[in-house]
């Protein structure tokens, strides 16, 4: 994977955008988060996922072992460390360049694969995640500009044995949900998002990818952050789900990410009579 040199971020930005949109579809910032942040996040997620009782996705063929892949949703309600995770300055700079500087948060959740845990079907992420129903999407929708940026933060070693996410380099250029018939090609040709706890694995959500089975003897946990341009409806309801004490201490960036002050939808009949949009 293309390794971002954070000391050269401004100079590299065009190459990063190229890599995400028309290159392999994924880049990595090594050691984005320190050991203390990882340990804190991991402890919270292990505790919150003692039961396998949350909605999960892309597990079609794995019903018997589905409980070995566990989700923790709405992490901003579960620990202060996650407030830092969604505001990492280098990730924010890349996301601003990729999705526009008013991007917001679609979701921050965890995916925990226990030993023996199953992989997922190859897929693409929200807002494309149900694109197997192609008729639900606009005519000629294509990959020329992005509506999603995903950031995976491993909390355990991510390697071929432990079930590091697989992705098919370049698959984002042809925006479509992988067919069942594409799976052999996917699994034969995929690369892995290998990494260490605290790395930030960043990818274009149009890239075909999936969690892979965990054949190791340890957990494979990860924080999954999804960023969206300002006009795409968030996946998680942060406005209801993020507690008031987090809202009260939120930075301007975090407030925007969770949708505080988001103008629409709006009751224009109740607005004051003034001109609010336009160059002049
Ligand atoms: O946990 C992983 O490796 C990937 C998870 C994923 O892609 C998803 O749930 O959408
Ligand atoms: Fe995904």
Residue 109 lies in a domain: yes
Provide the pLDDT for residue 82: 98
- Nearest residue (by CA) to ligand 1, atom 8, is 210
Q: Residue 56 burial (CB < 10 Å; 0-12/13-18/19+)?
A: middle
Contact in structure between 223 and 85 (CB atoms under 8 Å): yes
Task: Residue 93: name the closest of 9, 198, 34, 26 by CA.
Answer: 9
Residues 6+ apart with CB under 8 A from 168: 122, 185, 186, 189, 190, 191, 207, 208, 209
Residue 148 lies in a domain: yes
Virtual torsion, Cα 267, 268, 270, 273, nearest 10 deg: 160
**Structural domains counted in the chain:** 1
Give, for 244, the enclosing helix (H) or strand (E). Answer: helix 244-248
Residue 122 lies in a domain: yes
Per-residue confidence band for 199, with pLDDT thresholds at 50, 70 and 90: very high
Q: How far apart are CA 81 and CA 111, in angstroms?
A: 17
Structural domain that includes position 84: 2-270
Residue 280 lies in a domain: no
pLDDT (average), residues 91-106: 98
Task: Residue 128: name the closest of 137, 119, 120 by CA.
Answer: 137
111 in contact with ligand 1, CB cutoff 6 A: yes
Residues 6+ apart with CB under 8 A from 255: 247, 261
Ligand 1 pocket check: which of 165, 200, 207 to mutate, most ligand atoms within 8 Å of Cβ?
A: 165
Q: How far apart are CA 48 and CA 109, in angstroms?
A: 11
Provide the pLDDT for residue 37: 98
Contact in structure between 118 and 213 (CB atoms under 8 Å): yes
54 in contact with ligand 1, CB cutoff 6 A: no
pLDDT (average), residues 31-54: 94
Q: How far apart are CA 52 and CA 68, in angstroms?
A: 8
The string of DSSP codes covering 138-195 is: -TT--SSS-S-EEEEEESS-BSTTTTPPEE-TTGGGS--PPPGGGHHHHHHH-EE--B
Nearest atom in ligand 1 to 163's CA: 3
Q: How far apart are CA 38 and CA 154, in angstroms?
A: 8
Distance (angstroms) between ligand 2 centre and the Cα of 242 equals 23
Distance (angstroms) between ligand 2 centre and the Cα of 199 equals 17
Helix axes 9-21, 89-99, angle to 10 degrees: 50
Residue 277 lies in a domain: no
Q: What is the DSSP letter of 233?
A: P
Nearest atom in ligand 1 to 209's CA: 7
- In this structure, what CATH number is given to the domain that contains residue 106? 2.60.120.620
Provide the pLDDT for residue 54: 72
Residue 275 lies in a domain: no
- Read off the pLDDT of residues 143-197 as tens digits, 9 standing for 90 and up: 999 999 999 999 999 999 999 999 999 999 999 999 999 999 999 999 999 999 9
Residue 225 lies in a domain: yes
Residue 154 lies in a domain: yes
Would you tell me how many other CB atoms lie within 10 Å of the CB of residue 133? 8
pLDDT value at 38 more than 90: yes
- Read off the pLDDT of residues 200-244 as tens digits, 9 standing for 90 and up: 999 999 999 999 999 999 999 999 999 999 999 999 999 999 999
Distances (CA, A) of 140 to 127, 135, 174, 175: 16, 11, 12, 10
């Amino acid at each position: 994977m293309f390794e971002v040199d954070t000391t050269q971020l401004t100079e590299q930005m065009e190459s990063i955008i190229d890599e995400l949109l028309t290159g392999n579809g994924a880049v990595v910032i090594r050691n984005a988060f320190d050991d203390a942040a990882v340990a804190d996040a991991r402890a919270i997620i292990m505790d919150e996922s003692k039961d396998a009782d949350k909605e999960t996705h892309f597990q079609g063929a794995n019903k018997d072992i589905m409980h070995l892949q566990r989700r923790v949703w709405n992490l901003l309600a579960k620990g202060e460390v996650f407030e830092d995770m969604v505001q990492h300055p280098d990730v924010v700079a890349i996301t601003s360049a990729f999705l526009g500087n008013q991007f917001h948060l679609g979701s921050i959740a965890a995916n925990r694969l226990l030993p023996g845990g199953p992989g997922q079907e190859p897929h693409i992420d929200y807002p494309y995640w149900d694109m197997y129903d192609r008729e639900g999407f606009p005519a000629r929708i294509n990959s020329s500009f992005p509506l999603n940026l995903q950031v995976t933060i491993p909390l355990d070693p991510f390697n071929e044995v432990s079930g590091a996410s697989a992705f098919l380099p370049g698959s984002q250029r042809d925006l479509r949900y992988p067919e069942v018939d594409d799976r052999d090609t996917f699994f034969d040709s995929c690369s892995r998002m290998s990494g260490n706890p605290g790395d930030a694995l960043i990818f274009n959500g149009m890239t075909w990818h999936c969690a892979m089975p965990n054949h190791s003897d340890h957990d494979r946990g990860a924080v999954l952050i999804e960023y969206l341009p300002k006009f795409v409806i968030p996946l998680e309801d942060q406005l209801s789900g993020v507690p008031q004490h987090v809202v009260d201490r939120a930075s301007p960036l975090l407030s925007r990410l969770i949708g505080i002050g988001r103008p629409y939808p709006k009751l224009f009949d109740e607005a004051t009579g003034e001109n609010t949009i336009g160059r002049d």
